[in-house]
Structures are given as structure tokens and as C-alpha cells.
């Protein structure tokens, strides 16, 4: 296969992976919005546990069929990943409860600088001036779209800090573990989903009761709300898998930058399906700025020197050297 064919094939797979993530992520946000806002199922942590429980059922079934091959992930690394991931979920829920919506959005935006810092410190990645400026433009555009009232308190600030750092570490760790142990996306998901499901389903009902003062076991299901719950769990399988695929193919920073395209899509679809309240010139301007920043980031980071790793922070086995050499210049 020629170099051009390999490049074209990689570009096609990158686009397909990203579209898979966008469709599932936007879909689950809209379904969860209907489930929580319309039907009153406000138990976010328990719902996430059910998502990972459904994912566990699928990975177990695929392993039994032989589609997922046996692989090894040491318990210390698995537990660290689950710790980061669960703190991310709990931290985001608590941050939303304790902070204004404006500060919550600012906290989410700060994940990109934190992810950049992790890559610079742990992977010795260096960014060009254009790449840095394009990231700032994306942040500015999304901030204009989403940040309204901004108020902060000490408890809210601490919850947001925990959420931001644990999310950035969890996303960094996805890329790290896949490279270190040569794990595919399904392999990593098969290791992590059962532990996350068990821990979140154990803690979730108590945390949700603390956050909402409502008990999940007292929720009165209707046929429609049960349908949306099952639909949410089904889409979540694709969302969890596509996140691992995208971070494995790109990096945590690129995943965060491109992820704000989902924010724009959610705003557009929200205005389309749930009414145009809140749609104004400021929001439209912010969308355009963010989209321009994403286009600039894609162009700047793909240029020589736009984003490059000077040295790797993890050991590479002999079997990985050839593939790592081929892929190192293709990461964005």
C-alpha cells in the first residue's frame, strides 16, 4: 500500500470515528435531556452506572463470541483509571449543583488548558504559536455561546477543580493505556466498564439522593420514560466506545477541541427541538467564532511543528516500534 493510500485510509477512518462520536454524544445528550427534564429521572450518577452496566453486557457478550481477544491490564492501572473516571462523573454532577451555569461552563472550558499541560509535562509535547492561538479562539467562541451568569463559592470551586483535573487525567490515561499495553478500544472498555458499573451503581443512588433529595427506587416509571432509559443506555454503549476510539486515534487535547463541535451541535439541535428561547446574536456569533477556531486548529496542528512529541514518556516494546514510527507523524 502506498503512502498516499495509507494517508487517505487514515483520514477516512478518522472522519468515521469522529462522526460516530458526534452522533452518539449528541444523541445521548438529547435523550437524557428528555429523560431528565421531561420525565423527571434526575438521577445522573445512577444513570451513568446503568450506561456502563449495559456496556459491560455488550463487551462480555462480544468476548464470549470471540470478537474481543483476551488482553492484560494490571489492576493498579485499572483502578487509577476508574478512580479518575468516577471522580470526573461525580465532580461534574456536584459542580453543576454548587456552581452557577456560567462558572460550570468555564470549568468545562478549562479542561483544554489542563489537558495541554498534561501533554507538555508528561509527553513532552510542544505546540506551535498558531495551534495555541486556535485553541484560545475555540475557547473564546464557546465561552461567548454558553457563559452567562458567573458566580463562584469555595465548595463549588473545589468541586469544579476536582472535576476538571480528573476528567483531563482520565482522558489522558485512555491514550496512555492504549499505547502502553497495545489495547484496542474494545479491550480497554472490556476492562474498565465492569468496575465503573459496579462502583457507580453502588455509590450512585446515595449520591443522587444527596444531590436531589429523591430516591431512585421510588421513581415511578411509565412506558415512555422506560423507553427513553433503555434508549439512553443503548446509545451510551456507542458513546463510551467512540470516546476510546477517538482518544486512541487522536489525543486528549484534540478530542477536547473537536468536542466543542458537539457543544455547538447540541445548542443548534436544542433550539430546533426544544424551542428558540436563548437564541440571540451573541450565541450565533459565539458559534461562528468556535467553528473558525476548530478549522484553524485542524489546519495548524496538522502542519509540521504544529503539535509534536519530542520524546515519549512510556516504554515502547519491539513489537510496537514499527507501528509507532508509522503513526507518530500522523497524530493531530
Give the least confident one: 58-62, 119-123, 235-239.
119-123
Q: Is 152 in contact with 100 (CB distance < 8 Å)?
A: yes
d(CA 327, CA 107): 32
Q: Is 60 in contact with 296 (CB distance < 8 Å)?
A: no
Q: Strand pairing partners for 125?
A: 309
With a cut of 60, say whether residue 145 has pLDDT above it: yes
Instruction: Give 73-107 as a DSSP string.
Output: --HHHHHHHHHHHHHHHHHHHHHHHHS-HHHHHHH
Q: Is 293 in contact with 138 (CB distance < 8 Å)?
A: yes
Higher pLDDT: 309 or 26? It is 26
For residue 182, is it left (φ>0), alpha (ψ between -120 and 50) or beta?
left
Mean pLDDT of 69-81: 93
d(CA 294, CA 286): 12
C-alpha to C-alpha distances, 197 to 46, 82, 90, 176, 283, nearest whole angstrom: 9, 10, 13, 22, 37
> 225-281 pLDDT, tens per residue?
999 999 999 999 999 988 888 887 777 777 777 777 766 776 677 666 656 555 677
d(CA 122, CA 28): 32
Q: Strand pairing partners for 126?
A: 308
Instruction: Give 170-231 as a DSSP string.
Output: HHHHHHHHHHHTT--HHHHHHHHHHHHHHHHHHHHHHHHHHHHS--GGG----HHHHHHHHH
Amino acid at each position: 500500500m502506498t503512502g498516499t493510500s495509507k494517508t487517505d485510509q487514515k483520514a477516512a477512518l478518522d472522519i468515521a470515528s469522529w462522526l460516530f462520536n458526534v452522533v452518539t454524544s449528541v444523541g445521548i445528550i438529547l435523550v437524557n435531556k428528555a429523560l431528565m427534564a421531561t420525565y423527571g429521572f434526575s438521577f445522573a450518577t445512577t444513570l451513568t452506572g446503568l450506561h456502563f452496566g449495559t456496556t459491560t453486557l455488550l463487551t462480555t457478550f462480544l468476548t464470549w463470541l470471540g470478537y474481543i481477544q483476551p488482553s492484560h491490564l494490571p489492576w493498579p492501572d485499572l483502578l487509577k483509571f476508574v478512580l479518575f473516571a468516577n471522580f470526573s462523573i461525580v465532580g461534574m454532577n456536584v459542580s453543576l449543583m454548587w456552581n452557577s451555569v456560567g462558572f460550570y461552563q468555564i470549568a468545562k472550558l478549562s479542561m483544554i488548558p489542563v489537558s495541554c499541560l498534561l501533554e507538555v509535562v508528561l509527553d513532552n509535547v510542544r505546540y506551535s504559536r498558531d495551534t495555541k492561538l486556535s485553541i484560545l479562539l475555540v475557547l473564546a467562541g464557546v465561552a461567548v455561546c454558553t457563559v452567562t451568569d458567573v458566580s463562584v463559592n469555595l465548595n463549588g470551586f473545589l468541586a469544579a477543580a476536582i472535576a476538571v483535573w480528573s476528567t483531563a487525567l482520565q482522558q489522558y490515561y485512555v491514550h496512555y493505556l492504549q499505547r502502553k499495553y497495545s489495547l484496542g478500544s474494545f479491550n480497554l472498555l472490556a476492562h474498565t466498564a465492569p468496575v465503573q458499573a459496579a462502583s457507580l451503581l453502588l455509590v450512585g443512588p446515595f449520591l443522587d439522593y444527596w444531590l436531589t433529595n429523591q430516591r431512585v427506587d421510588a421513581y415511578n416509571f411509565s412506558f415512555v420514560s422506560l423507553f427513553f432509559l433503555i434508549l439512553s443506555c443503548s446509545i451510551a454503549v456507542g458513546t463510551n466506545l467512540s470516546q476510546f476510539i477517538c482518544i486512541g486515534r487522536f489525543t486528549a487535547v484534540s478530542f477536547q477541541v473537536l468536542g466543542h463541535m458537539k457543544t455547538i451541535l447540541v445548542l443548534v439541535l436544542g433550539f430546533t427541538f426544544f424551542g428558540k428561547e436563548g437564541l440571540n446574536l451573541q450565541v450565533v456569533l459565539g458559534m461562528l467564532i468556535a467553528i473558525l477556531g476548530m478549522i484553524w486548529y485542524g489546519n495548524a496542528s496538522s502542519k509540521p511543528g504544529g503539535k509534536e512529541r519530542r520524546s515519549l514518556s512510556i516504554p515502547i516494546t519491539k513489537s510496537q516500534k514499527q507501528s509507532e514510527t508509522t503513526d507518530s507523524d500522523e497524530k493531530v
